[in-house]
Structure 1
Amino acid sequence: MLSKEKLQRINELSAKAKKEGLSLKEQKEQKELREAYLKNVRQSFKNQLKSVKIVDEEGNDVTPEKLKKDKNNDPFIH
């Protein structure tokens, strides 16, 4: 998870970009922070997907094999 300080900085840079624009250094910082944020979101989403189990109306597990395989290879889910 991204720290509160980094999230706050992302918001500060976004607001400043809308009001007055950013320097090249700030643009680079904003890009790096956004990439870190998106990486974190993607990882969280993948972790959430690994905990999903799909069951049909009859109670049969119909979770896709790829998802089952990913779940079995994850050292944090067991």
Structure 2
Amino acid sequence: MLSKEKLQRISVLSKKSKSQGLTVEEAKEQTTLRKEYLDTFRTSMRETIENVRVFDPEGNEVTPEKLRQKQNKNNRLN
């Protein structure tokens, strides 16, 4: 999770970019912060998806085989 300060800085830079433009240094900072945010988001989303189990209305597990294999592989490592 990104710190509150970094998230606020992303917002500040975004607003400034729309209103008056950014300096070269600010644009680089914005790019770095956005990349860090996306990396954090993707990691979190991947971890969430890899821990999901899917059930049909009758209660039978119908988790896709590829996902089950990934979950089994992860469980062996832990």
Counterparts of residues 18-33 of structure 1 (less than 5 Å): 18-33=18-33
For 2:2 and 2:25, the matched residues in 1 are separated by 21
Question: TM-score if structure 2 supplies the norm length?
Answer: 0.85
Give the equivalent residue in structure 1 for 2:74: 74
Gaps of 5+ in 1: none
Gaps of 5+ in 2: none
Is the counterpart of residue 59 in structure 1 residue 78 in structure 2? no
Q: Offset at 1:58? A: 2.9
Relative to structure 2, which stretch is displaced further, 49-58 or 16-25? 49-58
Q: Offset at 1:57? A: 2.8
For 2:49 and 2:6, the matched residues in 1 are separated by 26
* Aligned alpha-carbon RMSD (Å): 1.8
For 2:20 and 2:47, the matched residues in 1 are separated by 38
Q: Offset at 1:71? A: 1.4
For 1:74 and 1:3, the matched residues in 2 are separated by 28
For 2:63 and 2:72, the matched residues in 1 are separated by 13
Give the equivalent residue in structure 2 for 1:15: 15
The share of aligned pairs that are identical, in percent, is: 49
Q: Cα deviations across residues 18-54 of structure 1 (Å, max 9, x unaligned)? A: 1110011111110110011111111111111122111
